[in-house]
Structures are given as structure tokens and as C-alpha cells.
Amino acid sequence: MATWAEQFPALFAPGHWEWGELDVRYTVDEPPEELISNVHVVCRTDGGIVACTNDLGWRFLPGGTREPGETIEELVRRELLEEAGARLTGPVTWLGAHRAEHRRAAPYRPHLPHPVSYWANYAADVVIDQEPTNPADGEQVTEVLVLPPDKAAGYLDGQPEQVGEVIRLAQAMRLV
């Protein structure tokens, strides 16, 4: 049987996210929790997978940056509410992460891990029961869609974080 990297070569290939000055490589190995700086969630809900768009036109899975002292579940719960108006209805399941090596001399925020951090992906069941809260200091989400998994992957293709491939990996792992 082929490895995940063989099945999803674009996702697992070394990359560079210019916007964050990060050299990245995807892994399914779970790092120590204290090295996780960001999360994005493949949200399963009635009708499919949740995908968001912000006022800059970026397309993404709900998620974001960890606050000081926040657990992974607290981070997931906060970001789902802020970006999708969603709440968890089940456990958060590990999917994989981009291991990020930072080129900048200091972390994005003082409490975040540096020079190595992980941008983690999880899968979880959610329900959307309100509008995104869109806090003033966060992304301004303009659209929350629920799409069948294949359409969600296609909608999110072309983003630097290989988001469409993350959904396809979740499908292959039978998490979607």
C-alpha cells in the first residue's frame, strides 16, 4: 500500500509560504501540543464540509492562531465560532500538520513557538447555528459554505496551504 506522501505528493512536498516567511512540510505525525501554533478544521456537518471566504477573497477551512494558554480544543471552539458560526458536536480528531520553519528572527506573537511550529489540521463534527462572530482583530468572514467533500476540495484548491488536498487526505483516511 502506498504511503500518504505517495498518494498526495503535492501536499507532502516541501513548500514555502511567502506571506509568512515559512518553509513547510506536511506530516501526519502528531507533534507535542506546545508546538502547535495554528489549527484548521475539516468540519463535517449536514450537507458536507464547511468552507469560508474572507473580505480579501481568501478561501479556507475555519481555524486560526492560538492565544496564550489556550488548549487545542479551546482554540478550535473559539475559531469555529468566530469564522463559521459553528460549534463542536463531537471530538476533535487529528489529521496532520504543516511543520513550519520560520525564517523571521522572532515569532509572529511572543507566546507562539519559534523557530519551529505546526499548523495543525483536525476533523470534527459541527453544527452551524449562527453567523460568524468576526471579532474586530480577526479575519472578516464574508461567506460560509457547506459543500460536498469533493466540491469543498475543489473550492479550496489553489490556496498556499494545499487545503483542497487536506480534505482529500481526510477522505482517504475515512475522516470525511
- Residue boundaries of the structural domains of the chain: 22-172
Q: What share of the chain is helix, strand, coil (3-state, %, to 5)?
A: 25, 35, 40
Assess contact for 107 and 114: CB atoms under 8 A. yes
- pLDDT single digits (tens) 152-171: 999 999 887 899 999 999 99
Q: Is the peptide bond before 115 cis (omega within 30 degrees of 0)?
A: yes
**pLDDT score of 64:** 95
Local confidence pLDDT in tens for the 176 residues of the chain: 579 999 999 999 999 999 899 999 999 999 999 999 999 999 999 999 999 999 999 999 999 999 999 999 999 999 999 999 999 999 999 999 999 999 999 999 999 999 999 999 999 999 999 999 999 988 899 999 999 999 999 999 988 789 999 999 999 999 99
CA neighbor of 100 nearest in space, from 79, 121, 80 = 121
What is the CATH architecture of 22-172? Alpha-Beta Complex (3.90)
Q: Which pTM value belongs to this model?
A: 0.95
CA dihedral over 125, 86, 121, 172, signed as positive or negative: positive
Q: E strand or H helix at 75, and its extent?
A: helix 72-84
- Residue 56's identity, in one-letter code, is L
Region for 56 from its dihedrals, namely left if φ exceeds 0, alpha if ψ lies in -120 to 50, beta otherwise: alpha
**pLDDT score of 139:** 85
Q: Per-residue DSSP letters for 93-116?
A: EEEEEEEEEE-SSS-SSTTS--SE
Assess contact for 37 and 23: CB atoms under 8 A. no
